[in-house]
Amino acid sequence: MLAILAVTFPFFALVLCGYLAARARLLPLDAVPGLNIFVLYFALPCMLFRFGSSTPPHRLFDPAVAALWLLCGAVVIAAAAWQARARGAGWPDAAMGALVAAFPNSGFMGVPLILALLGDAGAGPVMATPLVDLVVTTSVCIGLSQWGAATEHGPARAVLRALQGVLRNPMPWSILLGALFGVLGVGLWAPLGRTVALLGDAASPVALFTIGAVLARSQMRPTAAAGDSARLQDAPLLSGLKLLLHPLLVWGLGWLMVGQGWMAPSMLVPLVMAAALPAASNVSLLAERFGADNGRIARVILWSTALAFFSFSGFVALMT
């Protein structure tokens, strides 16, 4: 266990550093969006491109992995949305609560952390999960958030907007482009390759620092809750769905699929680790855009990130 903590501690310590820097105003809150832009559009795509080009395509695009991830995500989404609706929440809050419970922080945290634990062998399954979450899970939850919209085509238009957002997101494109380069056996021009390597090496520390800064900013600049959402005090429950139910579902169903020969055993450990990650920090931006209580979503992200240091390390100890 101490060996596992020796690997996981620096990652969560960098999140804490970003949080404390923003809380102490050492990092101006207005600078946080700039950090996000650097990570999302420069550093992280370069890191994903490198891993995509070196990962066999059958590991990136395994239909069994996609089916497992979608099925487990659907169960978590249904449970989170049902409990919110049962408490009187509207569709925007029910859907965004479901998304924050099912969408792990695979990009900013999962790829560097799990690769540090498992090496390149874990790259394929871990990078496959954000492809599914960005294209399918996010689109479904955004469509649900507009289910009660006054216009007849509210959900359809919301899904279309979500798909447009996917097309503008550089993460899936960088993975796909890297996979294409790997299949074709094409290498980058040496100076460009070194530039990509430098940016990719910066992705992990800056992304983790940025997560902490984003969490601090969400506390220091809370968005007022609207209507019935103010009564929802379910951050601990949604955090539990994210940190416990999601990885347990992936573990249980994945074990059955491995037993039936539908999935390679080497895929299971990185997938469980990916499911055990805290909630994705970008869900709070989606909540604000689609009329949900952003403060509630930010609390879930904060709770799950803080508790994941213990729960994630526990799952790693059990799986390895």
* pLDDT tens digits, 57-87: 888 888 999 999 999 999 999 999 999 999 8
User: Sign of the C-alpha dihedral, residues 53, 56, 59, 62?
Assistant: positive
Q: What is the pLDDT of residue 66?
A: 93
Residues 2-319, CATH architecture: Up-down Bundle (1.20)
Domains in the chain: boundaries: 2-319
Supply the DSSP string of 31-60, one letter for each residue.
Answer: GHHHHHHHIIIIIHHHHHHHHHHHS-HHHH
**pLDDT tens-digit profile of 148-169?**
654 545 566 766 766 676 677 8
Share of the chain above pLDDT 90, in %: 50
194-203: per-residue pLDDT in tens? Answer: 999 999 999 8
* 189 close to 59: Cβ distance less than 8 angstroms: no
- Bridge partners of residue 104, in order along the sequence: 279
Q: Which is more confidently placed, 3 or 180?
A: 180
- pTM, two decimal places: 0.87
At residue 275, the pLDDT reads 97
Mean pLDDT for the chain overall: 87
Would you state the pLDDT for residue 224?
46
Q: What is the pLDDT of residue 269?
A: 94
What is the spatial distance between Cα 242 and Cα 272, in angstroms, rounded to a whole number? 12
pLDDT at res. 314: 93
Is residue 133 within 8 A of residue 275, CB to CB? The reply is no
Q: 74-107 burial string, b = 16+ CB within 10 Å, else e?
A: bebbebbbebbbeeebbbbbbbbbbbbbbbbbbb
Q: What gap in Å lies between CA 68 and CA 261, rounded to an integer?
A: 13
- Phi and psi at 279, nearest 5°, equal -65, 150
- Banded model confidence at residue 98, pLDDT cuts 50, 70, 90: very high
